[in-house]
């Protein structure tokens, strides 16, 4: 693998890792609005949220109601947008014709 390819892969990995962290962080922020922080430091999730998430995690994407698919489509669009940006990263000048 050429050095410029290694650099490109490292940049892609960094961008995708940042996306993964941001997606996880958004999820945690959402999760912590759905329950109660206990005095012990533990967290109790509301029963309706637990029921909904258990149903969703045990349901194929294709079997979800359309309104529940929307957040997945939003995440997919974000990934596709990142991919478009990453595919536009130029290679080094000496390797442009390879």
Token digits for 97? 């014709």
Where would I find the H helices in the chain? 3-31, 47-57, 66-87
Q: How far apart are CA 92 and CA 32, in angstroms?
A: 45
Q: What is the pLDDT along the chain (98 residues), one digit of tens a residue?
A: 788 888 888 888 998 999 999 999 999 999 999 999 999 999 999 999 999 999 999 999 999 999 999 999 999 999 999 888 887 766 555 544 44
Is this prediction's pTM over 0.85?
no
Q: How far apart are CA 40 and CA 27, in angstroms?
A: 23
Tell me how long the chain is.
98
Residues 86 and 12: beta-carbon distance below 8 Å: yes
């Amino acid at each position: 693998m050429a050095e410029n390819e290694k650099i490109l892969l490292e940049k892609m990995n960094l961008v995708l890792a940042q996306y993964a962290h941001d997606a996880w962080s958004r999820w945690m922020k959402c999760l912590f609005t759905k329950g109660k922080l206990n005095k012990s430091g533990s967290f109790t999730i509301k029963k309706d949220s637990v029921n909904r998430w258990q149903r969703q995690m045990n349901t194929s994407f294709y079997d979800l109601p359309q309104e529940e698919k929307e957040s997945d489509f939003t995440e997919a669009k974000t990934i596709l947008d990142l991919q478009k940006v990453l595919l536009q990263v130029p290679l080094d000048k000496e390797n442009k014709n390879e």
